[in-house]
Amino acid sequence: MHKEITTATIILALTLLSGCEDKEKSIIRIITNPRGAEIYINGEEKGNSPSEIGQTFAIKLSSGDYTLEAKNATEDKIKEWYATKTIHVHKNTLQTVELRLESRFSKQFLAKIKEKYNSKVIEPEMTTIPKGDFEMGCDNNKFSFCKYDRAIHPVSVQSFSMSKYEVTIQEWSACFLDGGCDYYPYRKNWQQAMNPVTGIDWNDVQQYIKWLNEKTGKKYNLPSEAQWEYAARAGTKTKFSWGNKIGRNNAYCKKCGVMWNNDSQVINVGSFQPNKWGLFDMLGNAREWTLDCWNDFYIEAPTDGSAWTSGDCSLNTVRGGSPNSETVEVYSSFREPGKKDGWNSDIGFRLSITE
C-alpha cells in the first residue's frame, strides 16, 4: 500500500427520528467503521462508538451547527485515524453524513518532530562534475550480469553540479515543518538526522525540489540517468568506481563486507570514502531517483546527457542499490524501474544543478 498509509471508510449515519419525546431536539445515531472510534462533538468527547455489530451510539442535539470528529489512535500512538465534518442539524429531519477516516500523524508525534528538527533551509553541499565523454551501460561481452543496462553507447555530458550526499532526514524535515512537503516518511530511523531520507515517491521529491528552489532561488533538480552514471563512474570504466571487486567497507549493501548489521536500515551519509569526484554513497545505502522515464533498453537513448523524457513515464529510473540489494545490483551502470507514485522503502535521492 502506498507510503505505509491506508484509508478506511467511516460512515457517520445521522438519523434524526421524528416523534421524539423532546421535540426541541433531534436524535443523532452515529455508526463508525472501523468501530470503537472516539466521538467528539464541537470538541467535546461524547464517548466511543460500540465495537459490537448492531449496536449504535446515539445522542440528542438541538438544531444548529456542529463539528463532528471521530478518532482512533494506533497502538504506537504515532498515527491516528481521523475524520471531521461540520453539519447543520434541523428539527425533526433526517440526515445522513459520511466521513472518510484517514491515517495521519498524531499531535504527540508531530510535537516530537518539531522538538527534534526545525524549518530552517539546509542547502546541499555541491561539487562540480567536469564535462566529458564516457561509455554508458554494461558491456555484455565482458560481464555476465548485464540486464537493462546492456548495450554500451557513447554519451557526452556537459559540466554540472551534484550534491555530495543523498538528501537527509534533517533536510527533509525542514521542508515538512515549513509546509513545503505534505508527506513525512516515518520510519524507525526518523531521529537519525544524517540518514538519507527514504520511503518517498518521485512526486514527493518534486515537492521538495519546488520548495527548495523557492527558498533559495536556485534551480535544483534530480540528475538525469546519464549524469548519474557519469558521476558514479568518476572517470572509471570498472564495475565499481573503486575497481571490479566489491571489497570491504566500500558500500552498504548485502554481502558488501561492511561493519554494520543494521537490519536493512540505511546508515549516515558519508560513512564510506567518496569516489574520485567527491561523491559519497553513489553505490549502496539508498537507491536514488533520477529524472528519466523508464525504458527497458537504451534504444534511441539521448547521447547528450539529458534526461529521457519518453517511454513509460509512470515509472522512473532508479540507480545505486540499497542495504536490500545484492552486490550484482549496486555496480555503476545497474538500473531498474521505480513506480513514480508507489511507496518504496529504500529509495531516496540526491540533487543536481545543470550549468
For 208-252, write each residue's pLDDT tens digit. 999 999 999 999 999 999 999 999 999 999 888 998 888 888 888
**Residue 337 forms beta bridges with which residues?**
317
CA proximity to 133, closest of 32, 212, 235? 235
pLDDT of residue 4: 41
3-state secondary structure the chain: CHHHCCEEEEEECCCCCCCCCCCCEEEEEECCCCCCCEEEECCEEEEECCCCCCCCEEEEEECEEEEEEEEEECCCCCEEEEEEEEEEECCCCCCCEEEEEEEEECHHHHHHHHHHCCCCCCCCCEEEECCEEEEECECCCCCCCCCCCECCEEEEECCEEEECCCCEHHHHHHHHHHCCCCCCCCCCCCCCCCCECCCCCHHHHHHHHHHHHHHHCCCCECCCHHHHHHHHHCCCCCCECCECCCCCCCCCCCCCCCCCCCCCCCCCCCCCCCCCCCCCCCCCCCEEEEEEEECCCCCCCCCCCCCCCCCEEEEEEEECCCCCCCHHHCCCCCEEEEECCCCCCCEECCCEEEC
For 14-71, write each residue's pLDDT tens digit. 444 444 456 678 877 777 777 778 889 999 998 887 778 777 788 888 889 999 898 8
pLDDT of residue 18: 42
* 7 band by pLDDT with thresholds 50, 70 and 90: very low
pLDDT of residue 302: 95
pLDDT of residue 294: 96
Tell me which CATH code domain 117-354 carries: 3.90.1580.10
Q: Domain coordinates of the chain in residue numbers? A: 2-106, 117-354
For 173-222, write each residue's pLDDT tens digit. 999 999 999 888 877 778 899 999 999 999 999 999 999 999 999 999 99
**pTM, full prediction:** 0.78
Q: Return the CATH architecture of domain 2-106.
A: Sandwich (2.60)
For 105-156, write each residue's pLDDT tens digit. 888 889 999 999 999 999 999 999 999 999 999 877 676 677 878 888 999 9
CA angle 237, 240, 243 (to 5 degrees): 75
User: What is the Cα 150 distance to its own chain's centre?
Assistant: 29
Considering the chain, what is the average pLDDT of its residues? 86
User: What is the Cα 213 distance to its own chain's centre?
Assistant: 19
pLDDT of residue 212: 98
